[in-house]
Amino acid sequence: MIRLEGLHKTYANGRGVRDISLEFGPGIHGLIGPNGAGKTTVLNLIMGLLGPERGRVLVSGADNWKDSDGFSWRKGIGYFPAEDYFYGFLSGRQNLEYIGLLKAGDRHAYAGLAEVLAEFGIEDYADEAFSTCSSGMKKKIQLAGSLIGDPRILIWDEPNNGVDLLGNIFLRSYLERSRAAGKVVILSSHVIEFMDGLLDSLTVLKEGVLALHESPPPADLRAAFLEAIGGRAS
């Protein structure tokens, strides 16, 4: 369970998020909004990469700032940020093994990693320097990294960006298996069609505030999103 209580974080330009209170239990939770709405800020607050000015984040009942012991609780989270974060001079496999060492003290921490590499179609590229891989291949390798340790919580920020059709089919299948296993998934994506029929709740942010939160989600995600932000289809 992840609980956000009155989160407030602002930047020098005045943007950020204000008074965000949400709960995410087992299931798949969509987090959407226009560019600059505060989605990545919320995810970074959950991960402890940013500290709130007010409010708090509880992960499995523990305050992720006050009660943490060196943020060891992150080992139970599979995090995929929107920006590349792997070392370019290492191969994809070496990056994955490094994550295994960090999370579990074992470079072979995730027994199913070979299966994930195969399902993503990246096993033939895993030993190439990460910097030489295509943007889509980089995304797939980093998504594989977020699965190391079989985490009970997945936080994915724009996992579809640059991923091909086969990769998206695998992502959807993996998310459905994660729901069946009782995992908590927070999914931020601009590909609203990918979320259709997949979500257990929908959250829409607009200009840093909560514009909509529905569980179960509305039947028409696109219409609900446009209504929440005061927009219209072109």
pLDDT digits (tens, 9 = 90+) for 14-61: 788 999 999 999 999 999 999 889 999 999 999 888 888 899 898 877
Mean per-residue pLDDT, 157-175:
86
> Residue 119: which pLDDT band, with cuts at 50, 70 and 90?
confident
HSE-CB for 207 with a 13 A CA cutoff? 4
| pLDDT tens sequence across 121-160 | 788 888 899 999 888 888 888 888 888 878 899 999 998 8
Per the listing, tokens 């998504």 go with 143
Q: Answer yes or no: is pLDDT of 181 > 90.
A: yes
Q: Tokens representing 190?
A: 């601009």
Q: Tokens representing 104?
A: 């579990």
Cβ pair 157, 30 in contact under 8 A? no
Residue-level pLDDT at 234: 44
Using CB atoms within 10 Å of the CB of residue 58, give its burial: 0 to 12 exposed, 13 to 18 middle, 19+ buried.
middle
Q: Which residue has the higher pLDDT, 204 or 150?
A: 204
Q: Give the range among 73-77, 99-103, 111-115 with minimum mean pLDDT.
A: 111-115
Q: Which of 231, 233, 234 is nearest to 207 (CA)?
A: 231
> Residue 69: which pLDDT band, with cuts at 50, 70 and 90?
low
Residue-level pLDDT at 40: 92
Q: Answer yes or no: is pLDDT of 65 > 70.
A: no
Strands (DSSP E) along the chain, which ranges?
2-10, 16-24, 27-32, 54-59, 62-63, 77-80, 153-157, 184-188, 201-206, 209-214
Class of domain 1-68+152-160+183-234: alpha beta
What are the residue ranges spanned by the domains of the chain? 1-68+152-160+183-234
pTM of the predicted model, to two decimals? 0.89
Any idea what the Cα angle at residue 200 is, between residues 47 and 157, rounded to 5°? 35
Rounded CA-CA distance 126/117 in Å is 8
Residue-level pLDDT at 90: 92
Q: Which residues contact 49 (CB under 8 A, 6 or more apart)?
A: none
Rounded CA-CA distance 88/120 in Å is 20
Q: Which of 99, 85, 166 is nearest to 131 (CA)?
A: 85
DSSP state of 91: B
**End-to-end Cα separation, the chain, in angstroms:** 38
